[in-house]
Structure 1
């Protein structure tokens, strides 16, 4: 059923049932007759029906409260109140039936989904078992035992002999280098002595040049004084 027609049909059915009950005698209308509820076809439609039931139930209660106030203004108060109560009872009974049917659809849909998931898991497990039965996994082949290769590392005696020979070679090289180091030290010392001699000669030459320049300056100054003395006489 189209969702946009669900709520109007609920209201029309309730109104029709209430009118029928008001027009018929109690003997002709069984009070235990279940209302006819349109079947729900989807979860969306079930949710819409429940929303409509809540709204219509609130509207019914509001209508009944308003009818009680109105009935007390009429001459036949009891008849008016009875009619209002009957309309409320029939409408709520129908709304309850709609609500029960929609919730039943939701529960059934949830159970169907759960059953489908369980069935799918069982199908997958059975398919896996059939595949393993058709293609059994071969038993693992034991690896051959590892054969230990003979060690290529020199023995302790050989390593000790090699170390001793290495130390002996170092000692011999040090001993052979002693005369060369002594000669190098003597040559370095002679270079130092020669350098100091050259430095002293340079210093002596500088001092002699300074003395000569100083004497020349003194002679020039004395000559200048003598010249000035003659000019002043």
Structure 2
């Protein structure tokens, strides 16, 4: 009974995988112990196979875990566990084969792309070499050596002489300005003396006017008082 069930389990597991991975190939029906995987034809198909392998592998592990729980509830526990293990083994074996084939295709496609890129680079280099050979670049003509122009910057001696002349001119101007400054100082002092004199005169006039006004007010006050009339006896 057990020996008859195992081949049926293999066939059933592979048939379920064929249905799960049917998007990759319509002839995904391996029947031998060594899985026969259809060839991948594009990188996109390889990516799809790898994605489905991950999903189917997780589903197979979950199914096996559930089968173990179910088997311990049956009378023939060992037979049930053997069938669950065989189903898992066949399933994972086929999924591993699909995964290996898809990864191999992606590696080969990547290597082919690199080969094409290298070939294109070599072709472009050869074409450039041929173009340069047909149109050689003329050798550059050496430019005549540049003659250094005389420097327009004054020499140290010239700068020192100019500074000395500037200091001498300033000293002469200072010397010539001494009498003028003295005269200006004297004139300023005289103006201050004259201003003080005018200020004193103004103050004196104000004081005289105030005194005169005070006297006039007193005289007016005296004149307003009634005079005493003397009666003779």
The aligned runs of 1:34-183 (5 Å cut-off) are 34-60=34-60, 62=63, 66=67, 69=71, 73=75, 91-150=91-150, 170=170, 172-183=172-183
Q: In the aligned structure 2, how far is the partner of 1:7 from the partner of 1:153? A: 86
TM-score, normalization by structure 2: 0.62
Alpha-carbon contact 1:40-1:105 (below 8 Å) kept = yes
In structure 1, distance between residues paired with 2:161 and 2:24? 107
1:8 Cα deviation after fit? 8.2
List runs of 5+ in structure 1 lacking aligned partners: 18-30
Structure 2 segments unaligned to the other structure (5+ residues): 1-19
Check the 8 A contact 1:37/1:98 in 2, yes or no: yes
Once residues 54 and 103 of structure 1 are traced to their aligned partners in structure 2, the CA distance between those partners, rounded to angstroms, is 13
User: In proportion to residue count, which structure has more helix?
Assistant: 1
Aligned length, in residue pairs: 208
Displacement of 1:215 after TM fit? 1.3
1:5 to 22, 30, 46: 22
RMSD of the alignment, in Å? 4.4
The answer for the alignment partner of 1:28 in structure 2 is: none
Greater RCO, CA 8 A, separation 6+: 1
TM-score relative to the length of structure 1: 0.62
For 1:81 and 1:167, locate their aligned partners in 2 and report how far apart those are by CA, in whole Å.
117
User: Structure 2: how far apart are the matches of 1:190 and 1:145?
Assistant: 76
8 Å contact kept, 1:50–1:99 = yes
Q: Residue 108 of structure 1: CA displacement?
A: 0.9
User: Are the structure 2 counterparts of residues 112 and 223 from structure 1 closer, same or farther at C-alpha, using a change threshold of 3 Å?
Assistant: same
